[in-house]
Amino acid sequence: MKEDWGREAGNIISNWARKHSLWVLAYGTGCGAIEIPPTMTSRYDAERFGISGMATPRQADVLLITGYLSVKTLKRVIRSYEQMQAPKYVIGFGSCTINGGMYWDSYNTVKRLDDYLPVDVFINGCMPRPEAVIDGFVKLQELIASKKANGWIRYQENLDWYRANQKKVIKNWNMPDYNW
């Protein structure tokens, strides 16, 4: 009985820490990236919510995709995502990650990010304002607190489906297949 209580208390503390310390790797692929500096600097101060930028995927908890992805950049984003430690989360930023945005009919852009990576939160808009960005992070924090932000688990469980979608668009697949 005491072991269960101790484990539950540990889970509560670790979920609280996860929720309040989101380390973000921003992958600025489009015009939406211009909204990240105002969000992180003193006017909007995203750090008061525990949101902080990181330099490498291995230090980050959140992969923020800010705009459209070409097929060539999709490969790099997948590689970055797979280098992140679990638990890891993905935020799709702007209409380009949802439906291709203004590039919906382009031959070389990804139309739906969630066909290739598990997206936990989408932030709507072309370009979303800093208030919307912070709101998206707060939504992610709520999902983490309620244990519903489980895209990384979906990715592991459905890896074959994600790989098939990834390999349909990436013709020269020479990335390592990570052993989950």
The pLDDT value given to residue 61: 92
Structural class in CATH, domain 18-169: alpha beta
Each as own residue / partner, the long-range contacts of residues 115-118 (CB below 8 Å, 24 or more positions apart, any chain) are: 115/165, 116/74, 116/78, 116/162, 116/165, 116/166, 116/169, 117/63, 117/77, 117/78, 117/81, 117/90, 117/151, 117/155, 117/162, 118/90, 118/151, 118/152, 118/154, 118/155, 118/162
Indicate the pTM of the whole model. Answer: 0.86
Per-10-residue mean pLDDT, the chain, length 180: 71 72 86 82 86 90 91 90 93 86 83 93 90 93 91 94 92 69
